[in-house]
Amino acid sequence: MTIEIGQAAPDFTLRNQHGEEVSLSGLRGRPVVVVFYPWAFTGVCTGELCEIRDNLSDLTADGAEILAISCDATFSLRVFAEREGYDFSLLSDFWPHGEVARAYGVFNEQAGAAVRGTFVIDAEGVVRWKIENGIPDARSLDEYREALAAL
């Protein structure tokens, strides 16, 4: 099932790279950018997340929270975050495998990973913008900026 613009974003609770639970509903009152990516330590994924890292202050200037989600284990995400200097939450959708990606309609069964789906969610928990790209196709950070500016 694909999530459409104007729908309530499915709530979830996942562990970040530090083992801390992060719930989408716990972030109500501020915008959230949910960024699904296939795999840690891979070229396109690393490039996209480094671009977010390098522009984090722009993306979070109005209080937005960035949540990057993959099916990697929390231990892998911790090493990935430390190696690349990510100061935002990398969430593990490891078990049940891909459950949150499936809820958002961005899980690729054949690959066993999420495609590149991004959802901008407003302060009330409603999806206001989204993009879904295939696994090899990087997203444009400028589109995230435009979507956040429109909130």
45 is catalytic: yes
Which of 22, 34, 45, 120 is the catalytic position?
Answer: 45
The b/e string for 12-47 (b: 16+ C-beta within 10 A; e otherwise) is: bebbbbeeeebebeebeeebbbbbbbbbbeeebbbe
Digit-by-digit pLDDT tens for the chain (151 residues) are: 689 999 999 999 999 999 999 999 999 999 999 999 999 999 999 999 999 999 999 999 899 999 999 999 999 999 999 999 999 999 999 999 999 999 999 999 999 999 999 999 999 999 999 999 999 999 988 888 888 888 8
Sorted by where each starts, the structural domains of the chain and their CATH numbers stand as 13-149 (3.40.30.10)
Pair 80, 90: CB distance under 8 Å: yes
Count, residues in the chain = 151
